[in-house]
Amino acid sequence: MSLATLVWVCLVAAGVLATWVIVRFPARRPTSVSSALLLFLVGQVAPTAGLALLPAALRFERGAQFAFAAVVLPAFFVLWLTSGWLLLAIGDVVGGQRGRVVRRPR
């Protein structure tokens, strides 16, 4: 498997896992746009701390596989999860109740 294929597989797997978490645990998501935005920003900054772990992880015999499992996959998962939470929070503010058609009186 090439490196590009492995990255795409990790990206898709993280997206599927984040979608499952969003659907399975809806009560765990942030309730306001400000908290969702804060989690999104932290979620974008936090994976860069994982870059400091990459040199140590690559010293192992199977360092590349370990690095993908310990650094890259969680980074993609956090990216998808916080993005989904932010979109849901914005949708709640803009669209009112999710999944229900609001009919206006004439």
Nearest to 46 by CA among 71, 69, 68, 13: 71
The full set of domain ranges for the chain reads 31-97
pLDDT in tens, the chain (106 residues): 777 888 888 889 999 999 999 999 999 999 899 999 999 999 888 777 777 777 887 888 888 788 888 888 888 999 999 999 999 999 888 876 555 555 556 6
pTM of the model: 0.79
What is residue 2's DSSP assignment?
Answer: -
Phi-psi region of 99 (alpha: psi -120 to 50; beta: other; left: phi over 0): left
Rounded distance, CA 41 to CA 35, Å?
Answer: 10
Contact 22, 29 (CB under 8 A): yes
